[in-house]
Amino acid sequence: MVKENKNKDQNSDIKDKLVAINRVTKVVKGGRRFGFAALVVAGDETGKVGFGHGKAKEVPEAIKKATDSAKKNLVKIPLREGRTLHHDIVGIHGSSRVVMRSAPSGTGIIAGGSVRAVFELLGIQDIVAKSVGSSNPYNIVRAAVDGLKQQKSPKMIAARRSKKVTNITAARE
């Protein structure tokens, strides 16, 4: 259940996708009060991605709150050649685990559901991912984004070690 939306406001290059919508119930003296919770992933398809959660009495309002939250929480992720990961990573949140592996050109996005939305909005074109453990979309998205935050480019590693990028990549081969 992923719904894509392209906004025409100040962030016109940022797209968002509705990953999950949940009806919640509060039991009060007079009966039940219904509300809605929405999970939205936003990204610019060039290396920035974020997710947001919104709750309200009406669906459109919950989606709007989640979208605004996702756009505030964008993080920059370094990508290799702008299409895949630099190295394999595992993201964990709660009992959800997302294993992400870089893939050769032409592979496409091999991932399911909410993880796919994260990769599409991040701008990854070639990746293989597997969700293990809990399939709760909130925890899966959090695990994927937390794993992606661990991504380090050779440039970042070289700067941290005070070495040249060629020395770092030469040791890799």
CATH of the domain at 18: 3.30.160.20
CB atoms within 10 A of CB 160: 10
Percent of the chain scoring above 70 in pLDDT: 91
29-49 pLDDT, tens digit each: 999 999 999 999 999 988 899
Estimate to the nearest angstrom the gap between the alpha carbon of 147 and the chain centroid: 9
Indicate the residue among 41, 75, 109 that finishes a domain: 75
Query: Which residue has better confidence, 112 or 56?
Result: 56
The rounded mean pLDDT for the chain is 88
The answer to whether 149 touches 90, Cβ cutoff 8 Å, is no
pTM of the entire predicted model? 0.84
Residues 66 and 134 in one domain: no
Which of helix, strand or coil describes residue 148?
Answer: helix
For residue 12, give the DSSP letter. Answer: T
- Domain end (from 44, 75, 106): 75
- If asked whether residues 38 and 86 sit together in one domain, one would say no
Does one domain contain both 69 and 85?
Answer: no
The last residue of a domain, from among 30, 49, 75: 75
